Structure 1
Amino acid sequence: MCHNRIVFTFLFLVFSCSFVFAQKPVVVERQVTLMGSVFNITLVDKDSISANKNIDLTIEEISRIENLISEWQPHTQISQVNQNAGIQPVKVDKEVFDLTKRAIDYSKMSNGAFDISAVSMDKIWRFDGSMTEMPSQESIKKSISNVDYRNIILDSINSTIFLKNKGMKIGFGSIGKGYAADKGRELMQKKGIKAGIVNASGDIATWGTQLNGKPWAIGIRNPFKRQKVAKILKLKNSAVATSGSYEKYAEIDGVRYSHIINPKTGFPATGLTSVTIYGPSSEFCNALSTSIMVLGEKEGLNLVRKFPEYHYLLITDEGKLGSKILRAFY
């Protein structure tokens, strides 16, 4: 009797183990609002329970970042920096300090086309279709009076940020979501998740492959043919970001003015309708795409070609498409 019970138990354990090993990975996707934007998180995991737990961890990581760098929430470190503009330096976490330092580096590399102090710009442009004439030169000049990345003073020894002038502000609307996508991917990779996508409203970080072993397929919208895509990127361990004027812009005297404004001049970007950059880091992709929208096609291409790991798809206001595309990243 005892012998039979042992045999039965052994057979049950063998059957249970076989069942566990027979399980196939699953793909689980969840949409959630974070950092004021829609995030789509997709994971390839051993089962749906594990996948949902790991999506929860990814959301926690993105929320943690938001609670450090949001300029809209008064308790965050960046809000404290802004509130003390022209008054005193503010001590921040190393993570916030390093992100700010990288942002200043992006400003230097783009000769000021990228500038996190642009959030202090007066809102004299409207991109809701109601604008029919240009603002005055005086109002444009005044609008950028508090914008200049060179007035962001960093103290690496004390880990402080000081904005020189009252009225200055900094914000990470341009690279914050890309940074969060990168950090979400990094966390999941440390947890052993072999594949997934963190899509922060178009700032995308990918790793691994789909269940069928194929790269992730990311469609880039054609702004002139809304029902079609300009290109389908096939990405593995990569990232992508797109900046464009095709959804928010003002058209005055037949010229389209982007909602992306040149922080040096106060004028909206013209010439390019869409800039897509892809390469290792979503944060850097976004810094490049924003910079190139401001710089324009010629100067923008000169900039991106300095970074051979990064590739581009540009669409001009006339619908001309220019690209340097690799089939997939490994």
Structure 2
Amino acid sequence: MKRTPHKFSGRTALICVLVILVACTAFFSNRNQQMREANVSDVALGTLVNVRLYSQIPQGALNSAANAALGRARELEDIFSVYSEDSEITYVNQNAAAGPVHVSDDFYAVLERSLYFAQLTDGAFDPTLGRLIQLWGIGTENARVPSESEISPFVGKKNYEHVILDEEEHTVYFENSDFSLDLGGIVKGYAADEIKKLLMEEYDIASGLINLGGNIMTIGSRPDGQPWTLGIADPKNPQDSSQTVASMAVTDKTFVTSGDYQRYFEDENGNRYHHILDGSTGYPADTHLSSVTIIGNTSMDADALSTACFVLGEEKGMELLESLDGFDGVFIGSDGHLSATEGVSGQLQMTETQSETQAEIQTETQEE
């Protein structure tokens, strides 16, 4: 199957969650001098994919593991790229309204979970906004502000309720032809989970980092046995890794960030439009947030939740996360304030600059 790369701007490849690593010499203590590293990168799924692995296995085997990880990302791009005429999602979008379409295990798994989060969030995460996303074209050469008449047919439709899955037959069916799928809001998370699974189960990798743009997945701990330290980028200066807003020590966790600075364009009047669309309005979500970072164990779920919480806004997003087990969030407002769910508020380390401007981390919890 021919692979067509996603169209993306340089901003897409910006890492929303920045990995803060100590000097490499600290990794290789006397007790693990045989520790080896493989570090590979490629463009897939619309972003820069970087895989960094550490192991005592032979270097050739370690390199093979890293390359297999990239191969898995490319395989998923062939399935989920809406920019490829030969992808599985393109075939489904073109044929599922005419009758049930048999799909691969990967496609079924991602779509099934997408529909779950669409129902859970009342459409704040919506995998059926494909035509609206195409209309705006944000992140492509064709980005523009559509007219009200163009947008109105897609507003508030909840077309995810018209996607019918048959688990036994492994098929997808659209009850009408008024929409198309775009799974870009969840597939990078699925890829991170799948790559980690591949590396651990088939190559016995116990230490590493998987980075797909704003999706970071850690494997175990650092080579020296210490937790990884992951930083949350400053939305006002995301390219400067020294200006992270806060950091947190984690082991076997995922950090997923959605932000208004990742993909956007400006019109002739200087108005900026970001890529996170709100299906209830047809426009980029306007909830006074610059970014939402989700911390959890499953990157696919964290990916969907980061988008949903950005669309819901801080208050409702907090409520959603506090109602779920295993997920926490950090919200950065457009005015620069930072809030965190109770589960991580005590673990965040504020940077010096952030501490000077904010006396404390705001936390919100549900009333009992």
- Quick one: distance in 2 between partners of 1:99 and 1:280? 17
SS at match of 1:158: coil
Q: Distance in 1 between matches of 2:161 and 2:278?
A: 16
Corresponding residue to 1:245 among 260, 263, 266: 260
1:106 and 2:117 aligned: yes
- 24 and 172 in structure 1: CA distance in 2 versus 1, 3 angstrom threshold: same
User: What TM-score do the two structures reach when normalised by structure 1?
Assistant: 0.83
Q: Distance in 2 between matches of 1:291 and 1:147?
A: 14
Which sits farther off after the overlay, 22-31 or 293-302?
A: 22-31
Higher relative contact order (CA 8 A, sep 6+): 2
Give 1:267's match in structure 2, choosing from 280, 283, 289.
283
Tell me which residue corresponds to 1:4. none
Unaligned runs of 5+ in 1: 1-20
**Shift in Å, 1:187:** 0.9
- Residue 264 of structure 1 deviates from its aligned partner by 2.5
8 A contact 1:121–1:146 mirrored in 2: no
Counterpart in the other structure of 2:64 = 53
Change (3 A) 1:126 1:318: farther
Cα offset for 1:273? 0.7
TM-aligned CA deviation for residue 124 of structure 1: 5.2
Q: Quote the Cα distance in structure 2 between the aligned partners of 1:176 and 1:247.
A: 16
For the aligned residue pairs, the C-alpha RMSD in angstroms reads 2.8
Identify unmatched segments of 5+ residues in structure 2. Answer: 1-30, 349-368
Q: Deviations over 1:144-203 (max 9, x none)?
A: 487621111112221110122225211221111110111100111112111111111121
TM-superposed CA distance for 1:25, in Å, is: 0.8
For residues 157 and 132 of structure 2, the distance between their equivalents in structure 1, rounded to whole angstroms, comes to 7
Alignment of 1:24-103 (within 5 A): 24-46=34-56, 47-103=58-114
1:296 equivalenced with 2:308 (yes/no): no
Q: Higher mean Cα deviation, 282-291 or 135-144?
A: 135-144
Identical residues among aligned pairs (%): 29
Q: Deviations over 1:65-96 (max 9, x none)?
A: 22233333233322211111421211112332
Largest Rg, 1 or 2: 1
For these two proteins, the number of residue pairs brought into alignment is 305
Partner amino acid, structure 2, of 1:296: G
Matches within 5 A, 1:134-283: 136-144=147-155, 148-190=159-201, 191-226=203-238, 227=240, 228-249=243-264, 257-270=273-286, 271-283=288-300
CA distance in 2, matches of 1:251, 1:37: 21
**Counterpart residue identity of residue 41, structure 1:** V
Amino acid at match of 2:95: N
Counterparts in 2 of 1:122 and 1:72: CA distance versus 1, 3 Å = closer
Q: Is the 8 A contact 1:29 1:42 kept in 2?
A: yes
SS at the partner of 2:75?
helix
- 2:93/2:180 contact within 8 Å kept: yes
